[in-house]
């Protein structure tokens, strides 16, 4: 075409497209899910803009927020159209030629080895999945701020963009035309498309139509000449039984009445494929586990076959009304803790009265809970204000507070329902239920995926520190390689033991040999091992739990019960300690004391109560180096 401008795909996109094209991945259906999801996003965007400016919607059909699918069997084209926000020329170049999201290389690498495309939507490259089924794709788009353009590519490393002077004007929105590959002709079957749309669009909040062909009976005046037997039989066999007789009768009465006959005619009309009732508006009692699981998959764009670990669906009433569904994903995303403090990792979708507002509101949940997925639909927040004003709205604080409570309750329940967690208590008492097997080990799984988030929560959230500390799991000198809770630790404390003992270091193996533990172990005291670098920070915030202080056993001031001999020893070694302190004094040590924590080892270096532990020194050093 004369006015076409050529562009090359970013190298990474090209690589991705090559992989998709040559993929032997069997589930090619996923392209439809990605296209519908993009159409729905585009519709959400224009609807959001229309809240503050009605004009943007336009008039007539253009204003209809819907998705349409059409099949052209002759030309072998499947097209999907939305009346969403559309793309300007610049958008087309940027959105369908480069990859914005980080971590895509990692995805490409992973796909090359595993060949699993299921997670493509999570990486912000879902669009390219069209090349699983098409060898040539046209994207026609009209944005309010620009003319109508066509983007096209045969996935040969380049794409072209032309001003659209030949297609019908779209009004606004995007039409994607897939020229289907020879081996993907099944996507021209209406029944196949209907099945897929039903499967993938269950949670899409816009109507999806397909241009469906239908055979209908129409009554037409019988044409004397053409009323052959053949036609008559074909007609009557498909009509209702009662009418069969009528047909025969009318045969007899041919002479008297003006004759009519029924014939089959093919017509086409838009057929609605989905039911747009939002799952979160339904009563939790009516929603099945399977529906929640599917809803999670579509929300998280995580189409593996794993169930979410837990969910909480509730209706908050009072000053601030909202409905919410929260999920604990089955796995942590690969980049959960990457630049934790610098990036917005908000994962909740915010709706106001059924209208999607944003999924980038980090005011809804604190950072440490950003691993949760879900949505909030509020009736209290105003609809017709800017995102900035919403972000500052006072109700958000209340919503956030309630969400945190509900989230922590949901996590606590994972532990409560896990039969492994209650072991060590009275095992006879715990009744076995049918889903015990499913819940078994769930909390350990949760802890392995998201434990660090709980620790970060203890550091960041003073209000909920105690609730979070309840969710903490640790290993200790007595936990036998398993995890234990602080409550369990306390239940095992020796009589007269006041503090919760812990030690920090780089690994459990190293700590097990530590001379600091000699005496404590011998006296049968339990000591918690903290081996994650974040634990040092954690213990600066977690001072006490259930009225018990935490005591680092490598620090000065350790008291292990009463030690009657201590005073005597202090007296008899007075001269030695004095000499020792004198010869090491100054920058090297603060003090030299008789210790009550050793058994075999003659001496140890101990850090002062308020200073950094040796482990912390180690961590800080490795960070500055
Ligand atoms: P993602 O949807 O995760 O951003 P995709 O690869 O599916 O990644 O799409 C890339 C981008 O292309 C989208 O972010 C959007 O800006 C644009 N886009 C795709 N389809 C449409 C559409 N139907 N209408 C408007 N923009 C679209
Ligand atoms: Mg997408």
Mean pLDDT of 447-453: 96
Contacts of the segment 472-480: beta carbons below 8 A, 24+ positions apart: 473/443, 473/444, 473/447, 474/502, 474/528, 474/529, 474/530, 475/508, 475/528, 475/529, 476/526, 476/527, 476/528, 476/529, 477/512, 477/517, 477/520, 477/521, 477/526, 477/527, 477/529, 478/526
- Is 38 within any annotated ligand binding site? yes
Tell me which residues have their CB within 5 A of the ion that is ligand 2. 38, 126
Mean pLDDT of 209-234: 72
Contact 42, 95 (CB under 8 A): no
Distance 31 CA to ligand 2 centre (A): 10
Residue identified by tokens 């209406």 is: 190
Q: Is the pLDDT of residue 29 over 70?
A: yes
Distance 54 CA to ligand 2 centre (A): 26
What local confidence, expressed as pLDDT, does residue 350 receive? 93
Regarding the beta carbon of 174 and ligand 1, being less than 6 Å apart is answered: yes
What local confidence, expressed as pLDDT, does residue 102 receive? 66
Going by alpha carbons, the residue nearest to atom 15 of ligand 1 is 95
Going by alpha carbons, the residue nearest to atom 20 of ligand 1 is 38
Share of the chain above pLDDT 90, in %: 54
Q: Confidence class of residue 596 from pLDDT cuts 50, 70 and 90?
A: confident
Distance 43 CA to ligand 1 centre (A): 11
Positions of E strands within 182-221: 208-221
DSSP 506-526: S-HHHHHT-GGGHHHHHTT--
Regarding the beta carbon of 16 and ligand 1, being less than 6 Å apart is answered: no
What local confidence, expressed as pLDDT, does residue 252 receive? 52
Contact 315, 339 (CB under 8 A): no
Regarding the beta carbon of 164 and ligand 1, being less than 6 Å apart is answered: no
Residues 6 or more apart whose Cβ sits within 8 Å of residue 135: 21, 154, 155, 179, 181
- Is 174 within any annotated ligand binding site? yes
Whole-angstrom CA distances from 479 to 453, 474, 482, 528 are 22, 8, 5, 9
pLDDT per residue as tens digits for the range 229-282: 444 444 444 444 444 444 444 455 555 667 888 888 889 999 999 887 789 999
What local confidence, expressed as pLDDT, does residue 288 receive? 94
**What is the chain's mean pLDDT, rounded?**
86
Ligand 1 atom closest to residue 124's alpha carbon, by position in its atom list:
3
- Paired with 179 in beta bridges are 77, 136
Regarding the beta carbon of 99 and ligand 1, being less than 6 Å apart is answered: no
The interface pTM score, or ipTM, of the predicted complex is 0.99
Share of the chain above pLDDT 70, in %: 90
Mean pLDDT of 217-223: 84
What local confidence, expressed as pLDDT, does residue 417 receive? 92
pLDDT per residue as tens digits for the range 135-165: 999 999 999 999 999 999 999 999 999 999 9
Regarding the beta carbon of 124 and ligand 1, being less than 6 Å apart is answered: yes
Per-residue tokens: 142: 């009209």
Distance 111 CA to ligand 1 centre (A): 21
pLDDT per residue as tens digits for the range 537-552: 999 999 999 999 999 9
Mean pLDDT of 582-602: 76
Distance 492 CA to ligand 2 centre (A): 52
Regarding the beta carbon of 38 and ligand 1, being less than 6 Å apart is answered: yes
Regarding the beta carbon of 45 and ligand 1, being less than 6 Å apart is answered: no
Q: Confidence class of residue 226 from pLDDT cuts 50, 70 and 90?
A: low
What local confidence, expressed as pLDDT, does residue 598 receive? 75
Mean pLDDT of 572-592: 80
pLDDT per residue as tens digits for the range 48-93: 999 889 999 999 999 999 999 999 999 999 999 999 999 999 999 9
Q: Identify which has the larger pLDDT, 521 or 202.
A: 521
Q: 192-206, 391-405, 435-449, 574-588: which range is least confident on average?
A: 574-588
- Closest ligand relative to 16 C-alpha: 1
- Is 457 within any annotated ligand binding site? no
Regarding the beta carbon of 207 and ligand 1, being less than 6 Å apart is answered: no
DSSP 230-282: HHHHHHHHHS-HHHHHHHHHHHHTTTTSPPEEEEEEEEEEEEE------GGGS
Q: Identify which has the larger pLDDT, 17 or 616.
A: 17
Residues 6 or more apart whose Cβ sits within 8 Å of residue 162: 1, 3, 4, 5, 149, 150, 152
Q: Is the pLDDT of residue 576 over 90?
A: no
Distance (Å, whole) CA 327 – CA 254? 70
pLDDT per residue as tens digits for the range 298-352: 888 877 778 999 999 999 998 899 999 999 999 998 778 877 777 777 789 999 9
What local confidence, expressed as pLDDT, does residue 423 receive? 56
- Residue among 41, 107, 138, 200 to mutate when testing ligand 1 (max atoms within 8 A of CB): 41
Regarding the beta carbon of 131 and ligand 1, being less than 6 Å apart is answered: no
Contact 361, 336 (CB under 8 A): no
Any idea what DSSP says for residue 207?
-
Going by alpha carbons, the residue nearest to atom 11 of ligand 1 is 95
Residue identified by tokens 């604080």 is: 397
Residues 6 or more apart whose Cβ sits within 8 Å of residue 576: none
Distance 548 CA to ligand 2 centre (A): 51
């Amino acid at each position: 075409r004369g006015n076409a401008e050529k562009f090359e795909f970013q190298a990474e996109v090209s690589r991705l497209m090559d992989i998709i094209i040559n993929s032997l991945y069997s589930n090619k259906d996923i392209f439809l899910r990605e296209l519908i999801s993009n159409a729905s996003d585009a519709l959400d965007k224009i609807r959001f803009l229309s809240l503050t400016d009605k004009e943007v919607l336009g008039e007539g059909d253009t204003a209809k927020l819907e998705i349409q699918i059409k099949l052209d069997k002759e030309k072998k084209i499947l097209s999907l159209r939305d009346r969403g926000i559309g793309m300007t020329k610049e958008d087309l170049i940027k959105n369908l030629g480069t990859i914005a999201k980080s971590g895509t290389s990692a995805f490409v690498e992973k796909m090359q080895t595993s060949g699993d495309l299921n997670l493509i939507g999570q990486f912000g490259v879902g669009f390219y999945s069209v090349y699983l089924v098409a060898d040539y794709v046209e994207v026609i788009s009209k944005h309010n701020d620009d003319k109508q353009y066509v983007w096209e590519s045969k996935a040969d490393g380049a794409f072209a963009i032309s001003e659209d002077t030949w297609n019908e004007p779209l009004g606004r929105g995007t039409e994607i035309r897939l020229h289907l590959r020879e081996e993907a002709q099944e996507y021209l079957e209406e029944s196949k498309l209907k099945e897929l749309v039903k499967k993938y669009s269950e949670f899409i909040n816009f109507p999806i139509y397909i241009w469906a062909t239908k055979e209908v009976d129409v009554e037409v005046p019988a044409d004397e000449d053409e009323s052959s037997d053949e036609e008559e039989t074909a007609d009557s066999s498909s009509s209702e039984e009662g009418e069969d007789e009528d047909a025969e009768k009318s045969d007899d009465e041919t002479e008297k009445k003006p004759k009519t006959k029924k014939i089959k005619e093919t017509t086409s009309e838009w057929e609605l494929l989905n039911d747009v009732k939002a799952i979160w508006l339904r009563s939790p009692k009516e929603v099945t586990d399977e529906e929640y699981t599917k809803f999670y998959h579509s929300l998280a764009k995580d189409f593996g076959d794993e169930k979410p670990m837990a969910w909480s669906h509730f209706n908050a009433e009072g000053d601030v009304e909202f409905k919410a569904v929260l999920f604990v994903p089955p796995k942590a995303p690969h980049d959960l803790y990457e630049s934790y403090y610098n990036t917005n990792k908000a994962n909740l979708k915010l709706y106001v009265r059924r209208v999607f507002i944003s999924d980038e509101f980090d005011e809804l949940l604190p950072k440490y809970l950003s691993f949760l997925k879900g949505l909030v639909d509020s009736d209290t927040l105003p609809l017709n204000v800017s995102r900035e004003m919403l972000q500052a709205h006072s109700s958000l604080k209340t919503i956030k507070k309630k969400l945190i409570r509900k989230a922590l309750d949901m996590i606590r329940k994972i532990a409560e329902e896990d039969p492994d967690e209650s072991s060590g208590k009275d095992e006879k008492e715990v009744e076995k239920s049918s889903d015990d097997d499913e819940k078994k080990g769930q909390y350990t799984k949760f802890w392995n995926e998201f434990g660090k988030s709980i620790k970060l929560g203890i550091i960041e959230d003073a209000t909920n520190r105690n609730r979070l500390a309840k969710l903490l799991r640790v290993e200790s000198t007595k936990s036998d390689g398993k995890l234990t809770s602080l409550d369990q630790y306390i239940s095992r404390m020796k009589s007269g033991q006041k503090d919760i003992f812990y030690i920090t270091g780089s690994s459990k193996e190293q700590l097990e040999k530590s001379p600091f533990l000699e005496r404590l172990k011998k006296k049968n005291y339990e000591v918690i091992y903290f081996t994650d670098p974040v634990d040092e920070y954690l213990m600066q915030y977690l001072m006490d739990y259930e009225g018990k202080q935490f005591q680092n056993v490598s620090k000065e001031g350790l008291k292990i019960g009463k030690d009657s001999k201590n005073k005597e020893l202090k007296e008899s070694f007075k001269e030695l300690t004095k000499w020792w302190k004198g010869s090491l004094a100054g920058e090297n040590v603060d003090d030299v004391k008789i210790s009550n924590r050793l058994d075999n080892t003659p001496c140890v270096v101990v850090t002062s109560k308020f200073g950094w532990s040796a482990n912390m020194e180690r961590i800080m050093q490795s960070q500055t180096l």
